[in-house]
Structure 1
Amino acid sequence: MTTNQIDNSRAVTSRQFRGVVVGALEEKTVRVVVRTKKMHEKYKKQYWVSRKYAVHDEKNSAKIGDTVIFRECRPMSKSKRWRLVQVV
Structure 2
Amino acid sequence: MPKRILQGTVTSDQNEQTATVSVERRFKHPLLHKTVRKSKKYRAHDPQNQFKVGDKVRIQECAPISKTKRWEVIAN
Question: TM-score surpassing 0.5?
Answer: yes
Number of corresponding residues = 76
What is the CA–CA distance in structure 2 between the aligned matches of 1:64 and 1:44, rounded to whole Å? 34
What is the CA–CA distance in structure 2 between the aligned matches of 1:42 and 1:19, rounded to whole Å? 27
Please report how far the alpha carbon of residue 42 of structure 1 lies from its aligned counterpart in structure 2 after TM superposition: 1.3
Which of 39, 51, 70 is equivalent to 1:50?
39
- Stretches (4+) displaced over 3 A: none
What is the CA–CA distance in structure 1 between the aligned matches of 2:4 and 2:57, rounded to whole Å? 14
Matched, 1:16 2:19: no
Which of 66, 75, 78 is equivalent to 2:55?
66
Structure with larger Rg: 1
What is the CA–CA distance in structure 2 between the aligned matches of 1:56 and 1:47, rounded to whole Å? 29
The aligned counterpart of 1:9 is none
Matched, 1:75 2:60: no
What is the CA–CA distance in structure 2 between the aligned matches of 1:26 and 1:42, rounded to whole Å? 41
Stretches of structure 2 that go unaligned for 5 or more consecutive residues are none
Please report how far the alpha carbon of residue 65 of structure 1 lies from its aligned counterpart in structure 2 after TM superposition: 0.6
Q: Map Cα deviations across residues 1-47 of structure 1 (whole Å, 9 max, x no partner).
A: xxxxxxxxxxx300001100010000000100011101111121111
Higher relative contact order (CA 8 A, sep 6+): 2
CA-based RMSD? 0.8
Which of 29, 32, 40 is equivalent to 2:29?
40
